[in-house]
Structure 1
């Protein structure tokens, strides 16, 4: 028996640790009445479920393997017993249906009197009397692989985490908003009072254009990519002409002793990363026939470049091969809807504010925002998502924003294919059902926004990305908003932009910058400001290798229609809250103090909520609170009356 087991393990690319291991395997095989082929086949299943490393069968793992076999055998014998009904997935789907559940609750259980004669019409199958294991209110079951069946919630590293819902840091912590007190309340009476008070419904409008559900892709041709890049150059040149009040039509590679102003995109001379000496400028087809020229930056004290960035350059090109820059125009942001500074004189502004003042205090808008992945790497139990919904039910925000990925293609079990359900079933059972239950429990006033990610294994693998299909959701009260990736929403009077592609990390690996000696520069603020300066959610080109960019869909999807008030960018980088401040008009870049005095500002609050799950532990999410509407209503600018808290899951 031992030789047969050794040979069978070898034929399946496994080796035994020693002779004692082979002897124990033979004893287990005999006691369970199994053939060596079946025994090794069960070991391979056990090996895959536990995601074990190596191909050596260790003696220490045989005890767990024995428990696995015994449990499987007990289940087999239970199913052979008569009079018992074991529910399958089809039965569970039927029981989850509202109509079926109503019939079960209203229809009394039939009973057969013992002294009456049983007729074929009155006979009732005993299996039909078995109560259902699930009800509509308790349908939030989780999908587990066979390796997770015996896993208790208290045994996971996530369950043993510390500092649950601890606030990591607060932006504008000096503001005493109502949310801070309510979130800290733990008494039962306060919870009951909050639940009795309905959630105020906020107004949500989808701005901008994006791919619709069912959009065809994978037709991105080379000429389409070239045309999309060249169109960005033309648009930038047109805006620069309006700001400078002069023509910007010079050839980037023509020799000239006089100063010229040209527009082009930043390129790298080689295949590596950008540096001070490898920056090339590629002109447009209209003015430069797409030619490139080396960019000399020795006279530029401060800059920040990345591949694909569209810039204007003022300088001289004596030889035609090297453009010596004296001035860079790299930022022409769009005006913001509600964060532009009021240009009216102070006296006039005070008068208008007094006339529009109402006795009612500004209403508070509370938003809870989190970005996926929503489950830890060691299982698919979605414990962080469960905790996130528990927090939202306690705090009762006006809006809950969930940014993908939901079924993360980078999850170990998804990548290795060890799950026993399709990716769509995982999304339906773990995400959709929980979202619908949350909306049902919180009432008609609560709203939920779902933003997909190109890492979602069940959704279209393309960027920009269409929203989820609305037919997959039960939303009779129109509480669920399905947004594109990227997308822009208007929440009451505040605009918010969303992007789940990690543009910040991609820019950080490609950027080259220079800061004057002794000057300070916030790198995260600088990276996020590129999106507003370039008027694009993803200005990097060529994109990162992991991004399936389709430039055929880009002109109407990646472009910013206006500078948003709040910019939510999910990133693997550390969570942060930054106020982006860009001059509205073109000013000399070597004196920022003059900019602050002479030009107004376009301000945007950029937030990276972090990931809800990191490794085998919890990550972070954010709670955003602000009062009133836009600055035109007489209130302070949003960045002064907005509070953001970064909280651990």
Structure 2
């Protein structure tokens, strides 16, 4: 076919600049889009006329030409449609018998056209299990033609379940459209430990009064904690000159300043980096009316401060213009009795079934989960084939928890960048992503749980970091599909999971901690270009040594 492609281009007086590379790409186009060499050259002729190109075929135009071929394929399929079929209750009830009959009984051409109704813009139809892929059945994609599906790329310890599933797939059916349903696994407990705004609120919107009250509460809470330790006295106004007294014991002709204790927030005198000399201490409204005073840190051997930090300061103020610090208290003493459970309860959001409390002794320590990171589409289309393949795999393996990190609607996708979609980003997210997840949890039963984490590349969501959770409004499935913030912390079966999908530059600035009882998993992209990517399957068993993990190529 390569020689035929060359001959067709020469026949139409086209000159190939980089002949070998262009011919190879054109061969791929012919295979993927079921085109003959003459049809391909005719499409290129139309493409070059529309863009007023010369008779020289350059490799730089191949990507745009591929997108043009995709558009032509979609338009051709849409023209074949005769209208969406309305499924009644009777149709759904006897749907399985109808599908079996169509395999045996020959049908008319009009009946055969109904098979290809699932076009790119068609609404997915539920058929007792997972809905059909959101791509035309007659369109062949590079992702659909990939080889070595669900191959284990690397492992930590071992997961024998993966190999068993691979053997089962090879024996029964390699087609992912037919899925063998197994008994559901045990439901895992789930709690959200990271704080997040209430549903429906305006994210990152604060009134000046709210900001003031928040800062005031921080200073007052820290003051009460230090006073409760009985190691420090009640804070005073640091902007007022300290009282002096005459030393009558030694009859020394000198005055001594009384030491005071103050609590406030570290501020900069001017915009920019925090420097040693222009450091200010802003106390609370109750103690000083919110006034600021300069801090003199020359008598301190060492210190570490940052803007916004709330600290306690011991020292004296001889003139009322500056506070000479002799001690900085930047911690809460251990003598303070803090109810850790009460403190965490203010940030915890229980999402157990029916909102019933769970006895910690009844929660198992084992956990099975799958973690996948977007994008969930290949760069050549918006059919969400990788997501459908992942959910089909999850149906076979039956994990207790499925963690999906964005981007779901990738703002870097070529189709998104062009802005030629006939639907909004939010509609695309609900039709292509949420509908698949709804079908997944309904098919799996009440034991299945799904966690959604946004990304700054999601076109339908706030792109500021940190990000709020998705507002999906699925009341019927809220106990199975849970959205958390980015970054976020969750507890599942006594296992803490910290998820973060941050910019690379910001990720380098985040603090890191080491622990002998933790596993660090670097998220892998589920789709890479037009091909497949990887996802992670984990099985936790109390300790990392007894746990197992596998990086699997989808």
Q: TM-score range by the shorter chain?
A: 0.5 to 0.7
1:321 corresponding residue in structure 2: 322
For residues 58-457 of structure 1, what are the structure 2 equivalents within 5 Å? 59-61=57-59, 64=62, 85-86=80-81, 91=84, 101-102=92-93, 104-105=95-96, 127=110, 130-133=113-116, 134=118, 136=127, 137=129, 139=131, 141-142=133-134, 152-153=142-143, 165-167=153-155, 180-183=159-162, 188=167, 196-204=182-190, 210-216=196-202, 220-254=206-240, 256=242, 257=257, 259-268=259-268, 270-274=270-274, 280-288=280-288, 289-291=290-292, 293-294=294-295, 296=297, 299=300, 301=302, 303=304, 306-315=306-315, 320-321=321-322, 323-324=324-325, 326-330=327-331, 336-337=340-341, 364-370=366-372, 372=374, 374=376, 380=382, 382=384, 385=387, 388-389=390-391, 392-393=394-395, 395-409=397-411, 414=416, 417-452=419-454, 456-457=458-459
Q: Quick one: distance in 2 between partners of 1:232 and 1:132?
A: 63
Q: Is the 8 A contact 1:452 1:500 kept in 2?
A: no
Q: Quick one: distance in 2 between partners of 1:387 and 1:78?
A: 23
Give the superposed CA RMSD: 5.7
The structural deviation recorded for 1:71 is 8.1
Aligned pair partner of 1:465 in 459, 464, 468: 468
1:47 corresponding residue in structure 2: none
Q: Is the 8 A contact 2:130 2:436 kept in 1?
A: no
| Structure 1 portions without partners, runs of 5+ | 1-18, 22-27, 45-54, 111-123, 174-178, 341-357, 512-522, 526-577, 581-603, 628-638
Change (3 A) 1:222 1:58: farther
SS in structure 1 of the partner of residue 222 of structure 2: helix
TM score, norm. by length of structure 2: 0.60
Change (3 A) 1:70 1:435: closer
Q: Quick one: distance in 1 between partners of 2:322 and 2:458?
A: 46
Alignment of 1:524 with 2:496, yes or no, is no
1:584 corresponding residue in structure 2: none
Q: Is the 8 A contact 1:612 1:621 kept in 2?
A: no
Q: Is the 8 A contact 2:193 2:489 kept in 1?
A: yes
Measured against aligned partners, the alpha-carbon deviations of 1:279-325 in whole angstroms (never above 9, x if no partner) come to 5543333334142534738846574x554333334455566436546
Q: Quick one: distance in 2 between partners of 1:440 and 1:299?
A: 63
SS in structure 2 of the partner of residue 130 of structure 1: helix
Q: Is the 8 A contact 1:161 1:618 kept in 2?
A: no
Q: Is the 8 A contact 1:470 1:482 kept in 2?
A: no
SS in structure 2 of the partner of residue 366 of structure 1: strand
Number of equivalences = 455
SS in structure 2 of the partner of residue 139 of structure 1: coil
SS in structure 1 of the partner of residue 446 of structure 2: coil
SS in structure 1 of the partner of residue 188 of structure 2: coil
2:20 corresponding residue in structure 1: none
Q: Is the 8 A contact 2:519 2:544 kept in 1?
A: no
Q: Is the 8 A contact 1:375 1:383 kept in 2?
A: yes
Alignment of 1:481 with 2:482, yes or no, is yes
Q: Quick one: distance in 1 between partners of 2:460 and 2:386?
A: 20
Change (3 A) 1:487 1:423: same
Q: Is the 8 A contact 2:489 2:498 kept in 1?
A: yes
Change (3 A) 1:622 1:66: closer
Q: Quick one: distance in 2 between partners of 1:606 and 1:212?
A: 31
TM score, norm. by length of structure 1: 0.52
Q: Is the 8 A contact 2:238 2:323 kept in 1?
A: no
SS in structure 1 of the partner of residue 512 of structure 2: helix
Measured against aligned partners, the alpha-carbon deviations of 1:491-511 in whole angstroms (never above 9, x if no partner) come to 45x3757665749975965x9
Change (3 A) 1:76 1:470: closer
Q: Is the 8 A contact 2:456 2:502 kept in 1?
A: no
Change (3 A) 1:399 1:294: same
Change (3 A) 1:619 1:269: farther
Change (3 A) 1:101 1:242: same
Change (3 A) 1:98 1:316: farther
Change (3 A) 1:232 1:189: same
